[in-house]
Amino acid sequence: MPFVIVSRVVNVNKTLFISILVSILLVMPAFAALDVQSEVVEGDIFLDEQAIYNIKLSNPDPVSKVIQIYPDDVAWYVQLEPSITKIPGNSSIDTVLYLIPNAWANTGAKMVRVFVGSSTTGEQYILQLPVYVKSFDSPQKDYSPSVELTVDFSEDADPRESLDAVVYLRNRNKLDIKEMKLVVESEMFRKENILPLGPQAETRERFSFSVDPLTPPGDHRLDVFVIVNNKTVSQERINFKIIPYAEFVAKKDTVDEVFKRSSEYVVTNKGNVELTDNFRVETSFLKKILTRTIPWADRVSVTKGGYFEWELTLQPGEETTILVIENFRPIIYFLLFVTMSAVLYFIYRSPVVARKDAIVTGSSAEGISEMKVLIHIRNRSQDLIENIVVSDMIPSLASLVKEAKLGTISPSKIIRHAKKGTIIKWELDALEPFEERIISYRLKSKITIVGGFTLPQTKVKFNTNKDRERITFSNKSQVSLGL
């Protein structure tokens, strides 16, 4: 295919060089599908310089092709700017090929073969690139800026962290570059430095960038340019991607009151993608009973390691508020109520306790005919109880049996009523602290009692040490056969 070669030959064997250029066949395709065109930009170099060629790679096929470019001579190595590893289908890519001599290179006219192949299809081109390597004894010319550029930058970028790019620069020749602009940029950031680069010197520059932590995940590119005298002499492109991440971060604010705690949780999605996950607050069985949540928890567990749990769906940067209120006041109120009730009971309870029992002492097949009644009166306080009057009523169907036994307390008054029955009263002077007295009497039924009947309560009236008159009653006594 036609091509253009631009070269400058200084004090060399022009006849030899021209004959080489005329015989060059730059492209020798093994397969017709892949097309490669080249143009010499700088083919006349010293051993410390590099030859430069413009290369155009065309892929007319609809599928992408992986490209490999390498020389067959160990005295040379190849560098592309920008670097190319793949050519999309139905497209062309322009790049700059640098042919760089190493320690095994010799002076003189050379024809360096460079292979351009596709591992995808097996196609292969052979570029034969002309170059003339001058001796250092030859008359010198002005050096053109030639800077080797290498960029170290991670292909996976976490927006929560600093994005660091390390740029390696090497001056390939003896040109003293007084002022060189180094530009590192992306669609999210841009920085540039002005720095010198001495003859055959090298340096490393570090660039750190901060991006919005909520930057959505996606593919991006980093471009690095080396500019001297307003001309780009080297460039490198690196494709990278912002990785997705998401996590719930909770900020807790607690307000303590008397027997009450309110905890506010502000839950935020500190990520760059939507997140659906569970948020959990630990609790226990007792706390669960006394805890109220706003909003209501989706799940509650009160077993070992109990918890309240909510299922949350939050967009990047979105937040929600959860309120957990632990209120122990009902328990305190209940304990206070029980305590006060007990205190009031012990303060206001009757110091005298009366209990009434009845024992059947006479019976027949027809029923109950005779019984004995016991009235227990006990002072359960530490105070002296005085002026005690015990009143008991005998139902009209029974009559009092008079008896006089040693140790029994005789009634002080007996009042009989034809319909209501008989009222018996006993008077005691005093009861010592914790003293107990037993009053007993016998009853005889006027008729045979079948089944059983109930004796009414016994009334006890007394005075405390504060000269207060108080009254207490005994239980009602149930009388039946067998008791």
The DSSP-derived string for 230-262 is TEEEEEEEEEEEEPP---EEEEEEEEEETTEEE
Question: What is the C-alpha separation between 207 and 184, in angstroms, rounded?
Answer: 8
Q: Specify whether 9 is located in the same domain as 130.
A: yes
Average pLDDT on 256-285 reads 92
Q: Specify whether 373 is located in the same domain as 469.
A: yes
Task: Please tell me the least confidently modeled range out of 139-143, 220-224, 265-269.
Answer: 139-143
Q: Specify whether 98 is located in the same domain as 193.
A: no
Q: Specify whether 300 is located in the same domain as 217.
A: no
Task: Tell me the residue range of the domain where 408 lies.
Answer: 352-480
Does residue 12 surpass a pLDDT of 70? no
User: What pLDDT sits at residue 444?
Assistant: 86
Domain tally, the chain:
4
| Residue 339, in any domain of the structure | no
Q: From 110, 134, 158, give the residue that closes a domain.
A: 134
* Coil, strand or helix at 286: helix
Q: Specify whether 284 is located in the same domain as 317.
A: yes
Average pLDDT on 126-131 reads 89
- Are the CB atoms for 184 and 190 separated by under 8 Å? yes
Q: Specify whether 190 is located in the same domain as 271.
A: no
| Residue 344, in any domain of the structure | no
**Of 55, 2, 20, whose CA–CA distance to 131 is shortest?**
20
Q: 436: domain CATH number?
A: 2.60.40.1530
Backbone torsions φ then ψ of 433, nearest 5 degrees? -55, 130
Q: From 134, 164, 190, give the residue that closes a domain.
A: 134
Q: Specify whether 28 is located in the same domain as 100.
A: yes
Q: Specify whether 387 is located in the same domain as 447.
A: yes
| Residue 320, in any domain of the structure | yes
Q: Specify whether 155 is located in the same domain as 115.
A: no
| Residue 413, in any domain of the structure | yes
Residue 161 banded pLDDT, cuts 50, 70, 90: very high
| Residue 88, in any domain of the structure | yes
First to last CA, the chain: 133
Question: What is the C-alpha separation between 297 and 49, in angstroms, rounded?
Answer: 73
Structure tokens at 281: 């607050």
User: What pLDDT sits at residue 18?
Assistant: 46
> What percent of the chain stands above pLDDT 90?
46
Q: From 329, 362, 381, give the residue that closes a domain.
A: 329
pLDDT digits (tens, 9 = 90+) for 228-270: 999 999 999 999 999 999 999 999 999 999 989 999 999 999 9
Question: What is the C-alpha separation between 444 and 394, in angstroms, rounded?
Answer: 10
**Of 390, 387, 379, whose CA–CA distance to 435 is shortest?**
379
Residue 482 banded pLDDT, cuts 50, 70, 90: low
Q: Specify whether 296 is located in the same domain as 368.
A: no
CA quadruple 473, 475, 480, 481: dihedral sign: negative
Question: What is the C-alpha separation between 151 and 207, in angstroms, rounded?
Answer: 11
**How is residue 329 annotated by DSSP?**
H
Owner of token pair 């010592």: 432
pLDDT digits (tens, 9 = 90+) for 15-46: 444 444 444 433 334 444 778 888 988 888 88
Question: What is the C-alpha separation between 52 and 7, in angstroms, rounded?
Answer: 11
User: What pLDDT sits at residue 268?
Assistant: 95
Q: Specify whether 63 is located in the same domain as 181.
A: no
Structure tokens at 476: 């009602």
Residue 416 banded pLDDT, cuts 50, 70, 90: confident
- Are the CB atoms for 112 and 53 separated by under 8 Å? no
User: What pLDDT sits at residue 404?
Assistant: 65
Q: What is the pTM of this model?
A: 0.50
Residue 1 banded pLDDT, cuts 50, 70, 90: very low
Owner of token pair 């307003």: 230
pLDDT digits (tens, 9 = 90+) for 50-106: 899 999 999 888 888 888 899 988 899 899 888 888 888 889 999 999 999 988 888
Question: What is the C-alpha separation between 477 and 354, in angstroms, rounded?
Answer: 12
| Residue 337, in any domain of the structure | no
Other Cβ atoms within 10 Å of 263 Cβ, number: 17
| Residue 346, in any domain of the structure | no
Q: 165: domain CATH number?
A: 2.60.40.10
**Of 390, 470, 386, 471, whose CA–CA distance to 424 is shortest?**
390
| Residue 270, in any domain of the structure | yes
Question: What is the C-alpha separation between 88 and 107, in angstroms, rounded?
Answer: 39
pLDDT digits (tens, 9 = 90+) for 437-471: 999 888 888 777 776 778 899 999 998 876 678 89
**Of 286, 290, 312, whose CA–CA distance to 299 is shortest?**
312
**How is residue 11 annotated by DSSP?**
S
> What percent of the chain stands above pLDDT 70?
89
Structure tokens at 401: 């049996």
Q: Specify whether 78 is located in the same domain as 158.
A: no
